[in-house]
Amino acid sequence: MLRRTLLLGLCRGPLGRGLGTHRGGSILGKVEGRGGYRGSWMAPSSSSVTFRTQDPAHDVKTVGRLGGGDRDGKMSEIKKKIQSILPGGDWNPLYDTSYLPPESSDVVIVGGGVLGLSVAYWLKKLEKPRGAIRVLVVERDHTYSRASTVLSVGGIRQQFSVPENVQLSLFSIDFLRNINEYLAVADDPPLDIQFNPSGYLLLASEKGAAIMENNVKVQRQEGAKVCLMSPEQLRNKFPWINTEGVALASYGMEHEGWFDPWCLLQGLRRKVQSMGVLFCRGEVTRFVSSSNLMKTASGEEVNVKRIHEVHVKIDQSLEYQPVECAIVINAAGAWSGQVAELAGIGKGPPGTLQGTKLPVELRKRYVYLWHCPQGPGLETPFVIDPSGTYFRREGLGHNYLGGCSPTEEEEPDPGNLEVDHDFFQDRVWPPLAQRVPAFETLKVRSAWAGYYDYNTFDQNGVVGPHPLVINMYFATGFSGHGLQQAPAVGRAVAEMVLEGHFQTINLSSFLFSRFYSGEKVQEHNII
């Protein structure tokens, strides 16, 4: 590594990307070892090499031309002298450019959560030949402290009303149940997703009973194993439930429950890195594109754009790096609407395709953890009350997770992740205690807030290419069920990129064009 550093300093030709040059052909930079800052290096244009330290008594100066047969000897001598004043230090290059993204990548994925990582995985899994596609994932929150993935409650279910959502979840549960067949990495320990197959239990009032029956019919047609239960059957199986106000219940008998979101995230990240996917900690701030004026079948003139370059602002720096690319995947979750705007999406006359925005925005949701010694036992499923309140068991110590989505009028400020504890007292606890009388004595132990990538149009995902920015593809807008469907969505997007159409699951109804045409995908079971 030292040899590479010195060669960079002595090189007369173009220097590596990210290195600055000063007049006279010299380069000035910091050198770091285990002890932190050690000194500075001044590469000469003539015959001497000087390494200056903070203590002038330890300056190292070597005089004589570094050419011909003397070069190797001088280099060796310099190396020994420098190492003598940096005992035991592992050398880093004078200019470390490893944090920069590459200058070009076939695919740039904006967002390194489970959806973005799933797209990366399937692109590499399905590529032919192996190594044909260079994939870069750009993620600004490398700690994932604000990521929807790790702040969710980790549920997975097939109890949806839209056939595509049922299919997505069936594919994903198979992926999760066989996760080490997909994500195993040589010499690394196997993943333990901690899947708890306790099922989902949805409760319906008299008003919602007919809708629930229709939903279950759809679910069964798609292969999900779901049964309907009367209030009496419900009391027999789960005696801790108060069935007042419940006309019907649907219960997932297999392939439903919850799992560890962090394990899936880290498993995907570990796997795609082993497959050669590149990562960059930074934020996409600009797209450089070209455009052509074209006419639609209806005679409307539109600008068709193609992105050629992505500008990535490096984390905690004013520096940015342009990355040439062929494809951009917008998997930025709750921020994907902002990323779409950067590409010019929605910046056109209202009512036109050019003026149609990606209707995905930040929505804050609270999750509460409480303890109740007399609460439901190990057989407790993931329960969803007609009021919208939900809960599930957490671990083995009579702890529970739960919450409730606010109404439009109650939507909290998404500018921070602070928790409103009054919301639990006023909106969550009353229906909980009414449905499970033991919860009258619960004690809240902790709480957190996370984000939904909320699709304000129909609360369903957006998958596939944009009709005008033709090389931007979407994997976003799932409004709370993106985590559980990520393995299937990643494959769908990869199929569209590589083959030009969906193969495993037809997600044509989830394309962006529905926002312009006004054709909603109406999902009744949004939590």
The pLDDT tens digits for 5-29 are 333 333 433 323 332 323 333 333 3
The string of pLDDT tens digits covering residues 423-445 is 999 999 999 999 999 999 999 99
For position 179, what pLDDT does the model report?
98
For position 309, what pLDDT does the model report?
98
For position 49, what pLDDT does the model report?
45
- Name 210's Cβ contacts closer than 8 Å, sequence gap at least 6: none
Share of the chain above pLDDT 70, in %: 81
Check pLDDT > 80 for residue 54: no
Residue 85 — very low, low, confident or very high, per pLDDT cuts 50/70/90?
low
Check pLDDT > 90 for residue 254: yes
Could you tell me if 432 and 242 are in contact, meaning their C-beta atoms sit under 8 angstroms apart? Answer: no
For position 143, what pLDDT does the model report?
83
Q: Are strands 278-295 and 248-252 parallel, antiparallel or unpaired?
A: unpaired
Q: Per-residue pLDDT averaged across 234-244, rounded?
A: 97
The string of pLDDT tens digits covering residues 57-71 is 444 444 444 444 555
- How many CA atoms are closer than 13 Å to the CA of 122, on its beta-carbon side? 25
| Secondary structure of residue 205 in the 3-state scheme | coil
pTM of the model: 0.81
Could you tell me if 428 and 402 are in contact, meaning their C-beta atoms sit under 8 angstroms apart? Answer: yes
Per-chain mean pLDDT for the chain: 86
**Ranges 244-253, 348-357, 427-436, 467-476: which has the least confidence:** 348-357
Q: Which residue has the higher pLDDT, 6 or 120?
A: 120
Name the nearest CA neighbour of 135 among 159, 108, 112: 108
- Name 36's Cβ contacts closer than 8 Å, sequence gap at least 6: none
Q: Per-residue pLDDT averaged across 61-82, rounded?
A: 53
Two tokens, residue 204: 């319906």
Residue 298 — very low, low, confident or very high, per pLDDT cuts 50/70/90?
confident
Check pLDDT > 90 for residue 38: no
For position 145, what pLDDT does the model report?
78
Two tokens, residue 64: 């004589």
Alpha helices in 397-473 (DSSP H): 421-423, 429-435
Share of the chain above pLDDT 90, in %: 74
The string of pLDDT tens digits covering residues 147-190 is 787 788 999 999 999 999 999 999 999 999 999 999 999 999 99
Q: Which residue has the higher pLDDT, 306 or 295?
A: 306
Check pLDDT > 60 for residue 295: yes
Residue with tokens 């393995």: 487
Check pLDDT > 60 for residue 127: yes
Q: Per-residue pLDDT averaged across 447-459, rounded?
A: 95
Could you tell me if 371 and 445 are in contact, meaning their C-beta atoms sit under 8 angstroms apart? Answer: yes
Q: What is the separation, in whole angstroms, between the first and last Cα of the chain?
A: 53
Name the nearest CA neighbour of 453 among 383, 346, 364, 381: 364
Residue with tokens 């052909």: 25
Residue 72 — very low, low, confident or very high, per pLDDT cuts 50/70/90?
low
How many other CB atoms are found less than 10 A from the CB of residue 439?
A: 21
Q: Per-residue pLDDT averaged across 106-132, rounded?
A: 97
Instruction: Give the helix/strand (H/E) hosting 115.
Output: helix 114-126
